[in-house]
Amino acid sequence: MSSVNLTALKASAEDLERRYAKFSDARLSLDMTRGKPCPEQLDLANGLLTVLGSDYRAADGTDCRNYGGLDGLPESKALFAAFMEASPKEVLLGDNSSLALMHDTVARALSHGVPGGDGPWSRSPVKFLCPVPGYDRHFAICEHFGVEMVNVDLYEDGPDMDRIEHLAASDPAVKGMWVVPKYANPSGATCSARVVERLAAMRTAAKDFRILWDNAYAHHHLTSSPPALASLLDACKAAGNADRVLTYGSTSKVSFAGAGIAVMAASEANVAWMRRHRSRSTIGPDKLNELRHVRFFRDMDGVRAHMEKHAAIIRPKFDRVSSILRRELGDTGLGTFTEPLGGYFVSLDTMDGCAKAVVQMAADIGVKLTEAGATFPYGRDPRDRNIRIAPTLPNLADIETAMQVVAVCVKRVSLKKLAG
Amino acid sequence: MSSVNLTALKASAEDLERRYAKFSDARLSLDMTRGKPCPEQLDLANGLLTVLGSDYRAADGTDCRNYGGLDGLPESKALFAAFMEASPKEVLLGDNSSLALMHDTVARALSHGVPGGDGPWSRSPVKFLCPVPGYDRHFAICEHFGVEMVNVDLYEDGPDMDRIEHLAASDPAVKGMWVVPKYANPSGATCSARVVERLAAMRTAAKDFRILWDNAYAHHHLTSSPPALASLLDACKAAGNADRVLTYGSTSKVSFAGAGIAVMAASEANVAWMRRHRSRSTIGPDKLNELRHVRFFRDMDGVRAHMEKHAAIIRPKFDRVSSILRRELGDTGLGTFTEPLGGYFVSLDTMDGCAKAVVQMAADIGVKLTEAGATFPYGRDPRDRNIRIAPTLPNLADIETAMQVVAVCVKRVSLKKLAG
């Protein structure tokens, strides 16, 4: 962050108050909180609604209306194996929520343990490494189960690997970590090949250490030349640590957010482990919905073509957020923000100690932002500076207004703080 | 069971061998193991495949393609409240599997505890009362989590209440029990009003005792004058034990077995408890599939009319099983069997110590039956006599053959045992 030009800021104070009052008078009701697709994005997949017609049979003749099959149809496993860059033997399909697969991974590791371990994790205290800022629903799972979370900084090329390696190697209570490896929520960071390699090869004090690799935005590019992400599953296999990683994905932001398909890809031992647990807990996933997805997308070319249509809709929204933040905050030293190459979020860092006040001030005049702190374990941002912005759902005019409000609030709060 | 006419049995020994050899020569491949709907039953709901058209909006305008909503759309909660004879505030919709809701109930009680309790059940040994014969997947959940199962006899009017009351009142480790209250799997028993009343009012040593009331066959009548089942939820409320029961249902055997809707109905406190846990573990159920069900069935009149069509298809299959068993075993004293008024199964009790051998002997000549013992906790039928027969999937000709094979095997095994 460049140094603050306090003189310039003070000179603009009156203007700021005028702008704030104008927004206040406008009685806004804008919501930038949720990483939800907009209706135009959902429309792209409307073919899913009718693609099945009355043909309910899988390629092998399976009647998808009936019971049977615990981890997915052969053709959907083939499609989602390609989706996850794994082999069909390494994938297992879930219901509509990859979060559920991650939750169940943690729950089952705690209650029963994982392959290569010594039984239930819950027998002794468990810690997870949490790259920050990160995804609140990952942290909520840990908090729910009493798993202690340890913050680790997330850089542009992935988590602080020196610290990860140190913590993983020195503390046997460190049983796992969360990573959103591509277009991280909220910073947009993508793990470099070197980070992937170090994660795969590092020494861990816990022999049953697990990386929960939430590749939620694997195919969600905003640019035509997306950054590469190496396969952590392949890297782990190469390093002799095949069981270290479980990877997750879904079509929530590909097809329909409420009615997509979730998938886990991992070593065959880990997949067998999850399958065994699922054999106790479910009749199996919805095969008709799998069939809809296979018929609609056909293959990864279909998925990629579809994702380009998504990008065409949301890229202008991200561009608008960037242009306003650049114009308003660019040379002020009051905030830094990401300009992601994919994913669903923009991460804005204010000066330390300002985020909560900015979010509150914006809310006061009708602009809802994700709660400050939400991107950190326990909802506590130690520097109180991170704000997550979700540009996909609102239209451009609303984004324009909301981001101006955010900028005005950042400046007002900063000025107050600096004037102290 | 009437006394065995050994003389008559011996006299028929040669005939038995001839029949067995004939079936053996026929190289049969018949499967009576699974309570699966037959294709004609599934066809009844084919309208579900196309009923949505491209109209993805709920009555209140909700875009069912997107995220949002944790426990069901208002209109689906209304339909499924009626389905469960509860109020909409008392229901929560799941994915396609009520088994998953039951599994999660047990898992979460163990990891976190339930309303009115003192924390996680897993802190000390837990026992469940299991009416037998019963449903193997209930027992598998208990076994998976190390919950000790205690057999209690299931009579025609429900479980042995004297024993249930004694065990529940005397042992604080007894935290719960399974019940399939209507057309029990496999016996077809329906709990009487008196049993419901006693379950609701009985004293329990554990103050957070829970009844898992799996009302899987609530609307699955085989007769036009079905037996009444009193609402245990209402009875528990009246007895001041509102939180004692969680009830479960699904459309697995109403619409599509692999793509139906699961539902839980319970006190508002129990629903809030499950909702809180689900808020950590899922993005919510598939609202499009809810919408399909609401549009297709409309209301409970629609469900009831639909279930009559099911009955018309499967009643002749149950009749065929009955007529063969009556003809073959009726006066032999070698077996008793149920003639259920609803549900999916027929329960056959052989003489003690014969069930395993009968199932094996039938398998040897190509007739697969549910594994003997499966209807008991730990797969152990203490009297080795119970065999579960699932008549819905095969056609009448196959049922005819399979049941003759079963009868012949029962007689051969019995003869061998008696001649012993």
DSSP A144-209: HTT-EEEEEEEETTEE-HHHHHHHHHH-TTEEEEEE--SS-TTT-----HHHHHHHHH---SSTT-
**If you ran DSSP here, which 8-state letter would residue B156 be given?**
T
- What's the number of CA atoms in the CB half-sphere (13 Å) around residue B229? 29
Please state at what angle helix A98-112 crosses helix A268-281, rounded to 10 degrees. 90
| Residue A135 Rama label (left phi>0; alpha psi -120 to 50; beta) | beta
Q: How far is residue B31's CA from residue B27's CA, in Å, rounded to a whole number?
A: 13
ipTM of this complex prediction, to 2 decimal places: 0.96
Q: What amino acid is encoded at B14 in this protein?
A: E
Which helix (H) or strand (E) covers residue B47, if one does? helix B47-50
- CA nearest B313: which of B48, B43, B34, B83? B43
Q: How far is residue B413's CA from residue B409's CA, in Å, rounded to a whole number?
A: 6
Ordered strands of the B386-389 beta sheet: B335-337, B346-350, B386-389
- CA nearest A215: which of A256, A259, A245, A176? A245
- CA nearest B345: which of B33, B97, B27? B33
Q: Per residue in A266-295, pLDDT tens?
A: 999 999 999 999 999 999 999 999 999 999
CB contact under 8 A, A259 and B289: yes
Nearest to B95 among A50, A69, A95 (CB): A95
Alpha helices in B171-261 (DSSP H): 193-201, 232-238
Ordered strands of the B262-266 beta sheet: B91-93, B262-266, B245-250, B210-214, B174-179, B127-132, B148-155, B158-159
CB contact under 8 A, B66 and A257: yes
Mention every residue, 6+ apart, whose C-beta is less than 8 A from residue A55: none
Q: What amino acid is encoded at A339 in this protein?
A: E
Tokens 């429309």 correspond to A43
Which residue on chain A is closest to B256 by alpha carbon? A65
Please state at what angle helix B300-329 crosses helix B396-419, rounded to 10 degrees. 40
Q: What angle do CA B288, B290, B291 make, to 5 degrees?
A: 65
Please list every residue in chain A whose beta carbon sits closer than 8 Å to the beta carbon of residue B282: 95, 97, 99-100, 103
Q: What angle do CA A75, A76, A77 make, to 5 degrees?
A: 90
Nearest to B288 among A65, A144, A258 (CB): A258
Q: How far is residue A160's CA from residue A174's CA, in Å, rounded to a whole number?
A: 16
- The residues with which A387 forms a beta bridge, in sequence order, are A348
At B82 the three-state DSSP class reads helix
Alpha helices in A202-267 (DSSP H): 232-238
Query: Which two three-digit tokens encode residue A111?
Result: 């209650």
Nearest to A67 among B141, B257, B285 (CB): B257
CB contact under 8 A, B283 and A257: yes
CB contact under 8 A, B49 and A56: yes
Q: What amino acid is encoded at A394 in this protein?
A: P
Please list every residue in chain B whose beta carbon sits closer than 8 Å to the beta carbon of residue A96: 95, 283, 285-286
Query: Which two three-digit tokens encode residue A330?
Result: 């660019």
- The answer to whether residues A73 and A62 touch, using CB atoms and an 8 Å cutoff, is yes
Query: Which two three-digit tokens encode residue B293?
Result: 């069900």
Q: What angle do CA A182, A188, A193 make, to 5 degrees?
A: 40
Query: Which two three-digit tokens encode residue B72?
Result: 């069901």
Is domain A6-41+304-419 given the CATH code 3.40.50.1220 in the classification?
Answer: no
- The answer to whether residues B185 and B194 touch, using CB atoms and an 8 Å cutoff, is no
Nearest to B49 among A52, A99, A137 (CB): A52
Q: Where are the beta strands (DSSP E) in A22-107?
A: 30-31, 91-93
Ordered strands of the A148-155 beta sheet: A91-93, A262-266, A245-250, A210-214, A174-179, A127-132, A148-155, A158-159
- The answer to whether residues B198 and B159 touch, using CB atoms and an 8 Å cutoff, is no
CB contact under 8 A, A97 and B140: no
At A271 the three-state DSSP class reads helix
pLDDT above 90: residue A158: yes
- The answer to whether residues A387 and A368 touch, using CB atoms and an 8 Å cutoff, is no
Q: Per residue in A24-60, pLDDT tens?
A: 999 999 999 999 999 999 999 999 999 999 999 999 9
User: Looking at the domain that runs over A55-299, which CATH code has it been given?
Assistant: 3.40.640.10
- What is chain A's percent helix, strand, coil content, to nearest 5? 45, 15, 40
Q: Are strands A148-155 and A127-132 parallel, antiparallel or unpaired?
A: parallel
Alpha-carbon separation of residue B45 from A53, A205, B34, B42, B301 (angstroms):
13, 54, 20, 6, 15
pLDDT above 90: residue A369: yes
Please list every residue in chain B whose beta carbon sits closer than 8 Å to the beta carbon of residue A41: none
**If you ran DSSP here, which 8-state letter would residue A57 be given?**
B
CB contact under 8 A, A281 and B100: yes
CB contact under 8 A, B95 and A286: yes
Exposed/middle/buried for A6, CB within 10 Å: 0-12, 13-18, 19+?
middle
pLDDT at B9: 83
Q: Where are the beta strands (DSSP E) in A210-261?
A: 210-214, 245-250
- The residues with which B380 forms a beta bridge, in sequence order, are none
| Residue B327 Rama label (left phi>0; alpha psi -120 to 50; beta) | alpha
pLDDT above 70: residue A1: no
Q: Per residue in B5-49, pLDDT tens?
A: 788 888 889 999 999 999 999 999 999 999 999 999 999 999 999
pLDDT at A2: 58
Alpha helices in A67-135 (DSSP H): 74-84, 98-112
Alpha-carbon separation of residue B259 from A124, A338, B184, B286 (angstroms):
39, 42, 23, 10
Alpha-carbon separation of residue B205 from A98, A216, A238, B176 (angstroms):
40, 47, 55, 11
Which helix (H) or strand (E) covers residue B106, if one does? helix B98-112
Chain B: closest CA distance from residue A100 (Å): 5
Chain B: closest CA distance from residue A97 (Å): 6
pTM here is 0.97
Ordered strands of the A346-350 beta sheet: A335-337, A346-350, A386-389
- CA nearest B261: which of A256, A259, A75, A53? A259
Where are chain B's structural domains?
A: 6-41+304-419, 56-299
Mention every residue, 6+ apart, whose C-beta is less than 8 A from residue B326: none
Query: Which two three-digit tokens encode residue A290?
Result: 């799998």
Q: How far is residue B83's CA from residue B303's CA, in Å, rounded to a whole number?
A: 8
- CATH of B56-299, picked from 1.10.10.10, 3.40.640.10, 3.40.50.10490, 3.40.50.2300, is 3.40.640.10
Q: How many residues does chain A have?
A: 420
Q: How far is residue A179's CA from residue A215's CA, in Å, rounded to a whole number?
A: 8
Question: To the nearest whole number, what is the mean pLDDT of chain A?
Answer: 96
- CA nearest B347: which of B32, B129, B137? B32
CB pairs under 8 A between A and B: 167
CB contact under 8 A, B97 and A259: no
Please list every residue in chain A whose beta carbon sits closer than 8 Å to the beta carbon of residue B104: 281
Low-confidence stretches of chain B (pLDDT beneath 70): 1-2
Q: Per residue in A71-85, pLDDT tens?
A: 999 999 999 999 999
Tokens 């329906």 correspond to B190
- The residues with which A315 forms a beta bridge, in sequence order, are none
Nearest to A99 among B107, B112, B282 (CB): B282
